[in-house]
Structure 1
Amino acid sequence: MGQHGEKARGTLLDSAEELFARFGIDAVSNRRIAEHAGTANHSAVAYHFGGRDELLRALVTRHLEDTNRRRTELLANLPADAPLPDLLTVMILPWVEHLASLPVPSWRARFVHQIRSVPSVHQVLTEAAVASPAMEELVARTHAAAGDVPPSVLYGRSSILGGMVLGVCAEYEARIQDGVEKPNWTGVGYFLIDSCVGMLAAPVTHPGDFLARPSSVYLL
């Protein structure tokens, strides 16, 4: 694809990410994405991506290589017996650092938060998450470091954890855009790390399989 094609593709991705973040996945048509991108070709999404699923896949994986690289670097520096806070730092910090690197306004956190709840995108998210060996290793080591918490409880807590991290980041991103907050993503990141440590390692008073095992931890 030539330089012009790459630029057009990038503009469509920017347009789709913003509109999906603002209005939701199902409320935005491919035509509306093309119009927002400033192109008169209403078939631009199909032309550049092949279809809706391919567009969503491109959006999900858009910055994944950078965050995976950073996660792999941090993971390589951990000792074999790394405690839970250090493991969660490696899991969460690359995502937060990526959000900090984006211009204001950014839409990434709100977009990812939106797609997490869309059943039709579940497979795309799952593929993106399991494609990261570093994340797979982190999930396994995090569960092992959580002590005597039963696996069924850990699965349920991990599901809540993923939604909590994405929800907090989405809300913070919006507050930055509205001028309510001055960006301090590092502070938010360590707040989330501390909160997740407390959630995963909390005492278990009523063990049980209350939540289905999540397929993946969606931190992109």
Structure 2
Amino acid sequence: MSSLSTAELWFAEHGMHAVPDPAARAELACAITAEHARQIERLRAPMVSRTDGSAELRDWVDCLVRPVTQHLDRLGSPTWYARFCAQLLKEPLLHDVTLDVSLAASPALPALLQGLERCLPELPAHTHFERATMARHLIVHVCAERESALAEGSSTLWSSWDNAAACLVDGVTGLWRAPVAHSPTGRDTARLIP
């Protein structure tokens, strides 16, 4: 097992503070994120290219979800990446730093985000940000739950990563299409990466 895989396992099972030195923690988290982001990008880029021009929200949500689940499937079991991402969500500053790393490693993401926005022209910017945040949490936690169950050899709600992806695409598409019945929060920047 490589040192990055060992760090990923350690973070996934013990939390981000398992490495007490904040600089070392950030460096390891960014290296782990960059490695996975490059692999996910190789799956996402052709999907985004094939989806270019689509006005179907579901097509773009598919581009958001399936590269992640396909990547986890290709890693085999046990894996720790989804649980690592779940731990990152608990550390907003570290999550923001690693999110920038993900964006830098994924040239297809801007086109994906633009595709989502084109499908939702009536959605206010602040609501777009809120739904992006909820979608990120949903994708990360569903993947982390399945990954954990597979590692423990216990049953999961989803029979395969493909089945988990289909359920996530349904749920995230419904989340984006839900009616807006609340006032703005003032945030207007969507960052979607799981």
Q: TM-score, normalised by structure 1?
A: 0.78
- Aligned partner of 2:55 in structure 1 is 82
- Aligned partner of 2:110 in structure 1 is 136
One-letter amino acid of the structure 1 residue matched with residue 177 of structure 2: A
Distance 1:13 1:60 in 2: 10
Distance 2:186 2:146 in 1: 27
Distance 1:157 1:184 in 2: 26
Structure 1 residue matching 2:53: 3-state secondary structure = coil
- Percent identical residues: 27
Do the aligned residues in 1 keep the contact of 2:60 with 2:116 (CA within 8 Å)? yes
Structure 1 residue matching 2:18: 3-state secondary structure = coil
Distance 2:77 2:20 in 1: 25
Do the aligned residues in 2 keep the contact of 1:24 with 1:114 (CA within 8 Å)? yes
CA-CA distance at 1:68 after TM superposition: 0.8
Structure 2 residue matching 1:172: 3-state secondary structure = helix
Which residue, out of 45, 61, 72, partners 1:72? 45
One-letter amino acid of the structure 2 residue matched with residue 205 of structure 1: A
- Aligned partner of 2:184 in structure 1 is 209
Q: Which runs of 5+ in 2 are unaligned?
A: none
Post-superposition Cα deviations, 1:163-199, rounded to whole Å, max 9, x if no partner, equal: 1110111011111122223650000001001100000
- Aligned partner of 1:179 in structure 2 is 153
- Aligned partner of 1:55 in structure 2 is 28
Do the aligned residues in 2 keep the contact of 1:155 with 1:212 (CA within 8 Å)? yes
Do the aligned residues in 1 keep the contact of 2:15 with 2:87 (CA within 8 Å)? yes
RMSD: 2.1
CA-CA distance at 1:53 after TM superposition: 2.6
CA-CA distance at 1:96 after TM superposition: 0.5
Post-superposition Cα deviations, 1:12-50, rounded to whole Å, max 9, x if no partner, equal: 1111111110110113457xxxxxxxxxxxxxxxxxxx9
Size of the aligned set, in residue pairs, is: 190
- Aligned partner of 1:95 in structure 2 is 68
Q: Which runs of 5+ in 1 are unaligned?
A: 1-9, 31-49
Structure 1 residue matching 2:51: 3-state secondary structure = coil
One-letter amino acid of the structure 2 residue matched with residue 82 of structure 1: A
Structure in which a larger fraction of residues adopt helix: 2
Distance 1:172 1:81 in 2: 30
Judged with a 3 Å threshold, the aligned counterparts in structure 2 of structure 1 residues 98 and 199 are, in CA distance, closer, same or farther, namely same
Distance 1:178 1:21 in 2: 14
Correspondence list, 1:154-173, <5 A: 154-173=128-147
Name whichever of 88-97 and 116-125 sits farther off. Answer: 116-125
* Greater Rg by CA: 1
Post-superposition Cα deviations, 1:100-142, rounded to whole Å, max 9, x if no partner, equal: 1122211110001111221341342231232222111111220
Name whichever of 82-91 and 174-183 sits farther off. Answer: 174-183
Report runs of 4+ in structure 1 exceeding 4 Å deviation. none
One-letter amino acid of the structure 2 residue matched with residue 127 of structure 1: D
Distance 2:169 2:28 in 1: 31
The answer to which structure, 1 or 2, has the higher relative contact order (CA under 8 A, 6+ apart) is 2
